[in-house]
Structure 1
Amino acid sequence: MVDVGVDLVAREGAGALTLREIARRAGVSHGAPRRYFPTHLELLSAIAHRGFTDLAARVGSARGDGRTGPRGRLTELSRVYLRFALENSGMYELMFRHDLLESGHLRLRDTSLPLFEVLVELVGRVRVDADARAVAAALWANLHGIAQLWRWGSLQLATGADDFQPLLRAALDAHLGPEDRR
């Protein structure tokens, strides 16, 4: 059922994730999901957990081999985050639903917070003069906003941009200070 839900959210978005539709596509009775997931939130949390696992794997790959400094790793991590959000918009929407994160099902916060800690650690290495947690939170909010506004087409309309890279560079410069581009 989780596999079906992951496929369904990828094809049709988070709004398509009803217990009845997941059961139908899984070829089970409409009551069968309740045997494994007593509430709809628990099934949605299991699906969102897959998204966090996928994002964590991508972030792990983006951390590099140590030859790139913290600013370069932050840039790559931010690109990975934005690409994930844009390529997996239904999953991304599901993953950050407050009711799922707040509910405690499958301890989604324990899956999402380590990703944030990666951001905090790298920001702390770039911005030794600042509260790394606050700067990381502001950067994350900025990235989340870029992803959402890009998905809606608002940023393309407002800026005329056809690529999010200049916006990403501006966000990183705003939160980390200008990069030395000599």
Structure 2
Amino acid sequence: MTDSEKSLRDRLVDVGVDLVAEEGAQALTLREIARRAGVSHGAPRRYFPTHLELLSAIARRGFAQLADRAAAVLDGTAADPRTRLTALGGVYLDFALGNGGMYELMFRHDLLESGHLGLRDTSLPLFGALVGLVAEARPEADARAVAGALWANLHGIAQLWGWGSLQLATGLADFAPLLRTVLDAHLGPEGGR
């Protein structure tokens, strides 16, 4: 691939990232991405033979952004796994709520199952970090199962908070108490209380 081909390929993905941030995942049509990139509506097909491949490339950027944010808290000095899990949960929820369109795109089943650009492999390292922290916090438990349940709870909080349902049901203005409750449920009460 020449530099100009790589440049146009990257520009199409950049435009898609901007579009999903501005208008949500439903706006990611090949025609609109091509229009905003200033190319013919057929041009994206030269680099992304299917719409799913372009969407996967855009979602891959979202996973990279989330991984960068997670690395910043995981590489910190906090030795306590619960503290790191709290920080990771906060990063996950902040990302999901601040990037709703990208978050929706990243977890689309058809993209993860399609295998385009190794998207599933891009999502697994973060889950691996979650499993590792759970294993540190609860060495007696099946860390993968607990991490899976914890992730499902975080995903549920993100979805329900994004829709406004949790604020209505709980009267909370911040998701932090929910995050603490989820961690207590999966790790046991903080400090053994």
What range describes the TM-score normalised by the shorter chain of this pair? over 0.9
Which of 35, 54, 58 matches 1:43?
A: 54
- How far the C-alpha of 1:109 sits from its partner, in A, is 1.1
Q: Kindly indicate whether the alpha-carbon contact (under 8 Å) linking 1:23 and 1:32 is maintained by their aligned counterparts in 2.
A: yes
Return 5+ residue gaps in structure 1 as ranges: none
Once residues 7 and 67 of structure 1 are traced to their aligned partners in structure 2, the CA distance between those partners, rounded to angstroms, is 34
Query: 1:142 corresponds to which residue?
Result: 153
Residue 161 of structure 2 is aligned to residue 169 of structure 1: no
Report if the CA contact (8 A) 1:45-1:100 is conserved: yes
Is the Cα–Cα contact under 8 Å of residues 85 and 147 in structure 1 kept in the other structure?
yes
Cα distance in structure 1, aligned partners of 2:102 and 2:69: 15
Moved more, 31-40 or 66-75: 66-75
User: How many aligned positions are there?
Assistant: 182
Q: Provide the identity percentage.
A: 76
> Partner of 1:54 in structure 2?
65
Equivalent residue for 1:106? 117
- Is the CA contact 2:167–2:173 (under 8 Å) kept in the aligned structure 1? yes
Determine if the alignment matches structure 1 residue 130 to structure 2 residue 141: yes
Cα distance in 1 between the residues matched to 2:89 and 2:192: 18
Residue 90 of structure 1 is matched in structure 2 by: 101
Distance 2:27 2:76 in 1: 39
Q: CA deviation at 1:123?
A: 0.2
C-alpha deviations, 1:83-141, integer Å up to 9, x for none? 00000000000000000000000101111001100000000011112100000000000
TM-score (ref. length: structure 1): 0.98
Cα distance in 1 for partners of 2:21, 2:83 equals 30
Tell me, in whole angstroms, the C-alpha distance in 1 between the residues paired with 2:144 and 2:77.
Answer: 22
Question: What amino acid sits opposite 1:174 in the alignment?
Answer: A
Distance between the aligned counterparts of 1:65 and 1:43, measured in 2? 34
Letter of the structure 1 residue corresponding to residue 17 of structure 2? V
Which of 14, 28, 33 is equivalent to 1:22? Answer: 33
**Residue 64 of structure 1 contacts residue 73 of structure 1 at CA under 8 Å; is this kept in 2?**
no
**Matching residue's letter, 1:99:** D
Quote how far apart the aligned CAs of 1:66 are: 3.6
Q: Give the counterpart letter for 1:166 in structure 2.
A: P
Aligned-partner residue type, residue 157 of structure 1: L
State the partner residue of 2:13.
2
Task: Quote the Cα distance in structure 2 between the aligned partners of 1:67 and 1:50.
Answer: 27
Deviations 1:28-50 (A, max 9, x none): 00100001100000000000000
Long gaps (5+) in structure 2: 1-11
TM-score, with length taken from structure 2: 0.92
Is the CA contact (8 Å cut-off) linking 2:78 and 2:84 kept in structure 1?
Answer: no
